[in-house]
Amino acid sequence: MPDLFAVPPIAPVSALNSRQRFAACLAGQPVDRPALWMMRQAGRFLPEYRAVRQQHTFLEMVHTPELALEVTLQPLRRFGMDAAILFSDILTIPEALGMNVDFPEGGPQLSPVIRTAADVARLPSGDCVEKLDYVGQALKLIRAELPHNYVLGFSGAPFTLASYMVEGKGTRTFEGIKTLMYQHPQVFHALMDKLTDSVIAYLKMQLDAGADAVQLFDSWAGELRAEEYVEHVLPSTQRIIQAVHAHGGKLLLFARHTGHLLDASLRSGANGLGLDSRIDLASAAAKAKAVGMAVQGNLDPIELFAPPAHIHARVREMAAATKGCGWIANLGHGVIPSTPIAGVEALVSAVHGLATNSQGGSLHS
C-alpha cells in the first residue's frame, strides 16, 4: 500500500498534482500555476454544507471525524481546490482546557472567563491533546481520502485564544484582554505560555495525523500596536513556529488588519504569510521574498460578488503583484455565507487560467 503520509516527490512542473503544486508555491519553487484554496471554504456558503448542518449541531460536526471529513471534502468535490483545510474551529483548545464553549446565534460564548492568576492556575498544565483526538482522527481520514491534495491543519494563536477566554465572547473593544495585559502582565503572560504549550502540542499532533502544513490564525493580533505585538505576542508565535519546524512541519501565519504589523510578522519565521485585503500585495510580496517567505491571499471576499470579468482581472493583478515570490491564491479573509457560487467558480477559473502565463520565472506554461 502507498504511504499516504510521505511527502510527494519533486515532479516536473508540467506534471504537478495539487499537493506538489501547493508545496512548491510555499517553497517559492517553479509551478505550473498558483495553488488555490479559500479560508472557510468548507462552510455555510455551500448548499451541501447546509444540508449536513440541518441534521447536526456545529459542535457535533466538529467533534465527529466522519462529519468533519465530509464537510472538508465538499469544496474540493465542487471546485477542485488544491488544498483541503480541516473542518474544525479555533476554540477547540479552550474547550479542551475545561471551558464551556457554545455557539449560539450571534457568536461563540465561553465560560467561566479567565481574569485572575487563580483562573489561569486552574487551567491544566501541559498540553490537552488527548482531549482533541477527534481532530487527529479527522485528519487521518482526510489524508487517506486525499493523497494528491495538500492537507492543512490549523489552530488559533495564543493571543486570539486568550482574547476569547478573557472576554468570554467576541468583542470590538478588547477591553478585558488589553486590561489584563496592561495591569497584570504576569497573569497575561502566564496565560499566553499555557496556551502556547497547548498550541505546539496540538499542531504537532495534526502534523503526525497527516497534515502537510498548519495555519496559525491570530485573528485579533491587529488590535495591538506594533510595539505591543512585538513585546507581548510575537515571542509566543516564534516559539510555536520554531517547534513546528523542529517537528519537520511548515506553518502559514494569518491575522486580520495587520498592515502595521507586516515587518514584525516577517520576523516570525513562518513559511508563508497570509495577507488580508488591506495590505498592499506587491510591497508585502517583495518583503516576503527577501526573507524567503511565501505569501497567501488577498482578494477581498466581497469581490466574489463582482462580475466574473472583475474577478479574472483582479486575479491577474494579484499574480503580477507577487512576481518572483511564492504565492498561494486565496482570499484576504474567510468566504462569507452569502457568497454566490458563481463568484467562487470565477475565482477558480481565473487561477487555473494563469497556467498559460508566466509569473516572474516562477510560473511556467
The burial class, CB within 10 Å (0-12 / 13-18 / 19+), for 173 is exposed
Spot the catalytic one: 89, 212, 218, 276.
89
Spot the catalytic one: 49, 150, 164, 202.
164
**Known catalytic residue at 40:** yes
Chain-centre distance for alpha carbon 333 = 10
Q: Are the beta carbons of 211 and 152 closer than 8 angstroms?
A: yes
Spot the catalytic one: 44, 78, 278, 314.
44
User: DSSP character for 259?
Assistant: G
**Known catalytic residue at 53:** yes
Q: What value does the CA radius of gyration of the chain take, rounded to a whole number of Å?
A: 20
The answer for 40, left when phi > 0, alpha when psi is -120 to 50, beta otherwise, is: left
Q: Which of 327, 154, 156, 161 is nearest to 251 (CA)?
A: 154
**Known catalytic residue at 89:** yes
Query: From CA 43, how far away is CA 28, in angstroms rounded?
Result: 29
Q: Which of 89, 85, 77, 87 is nearest to 37 (CA)?
A: 85
Spot the catalytic one: 19, 40, 115, 239.
40
CA 177 to each of CA 114, 119, 217, 243, 290: distance values in angstroms, whole numbers, following the listed order: 9, 14, 17, 26, 34
Catalytic residues: 40, 44, 53, 89, 164
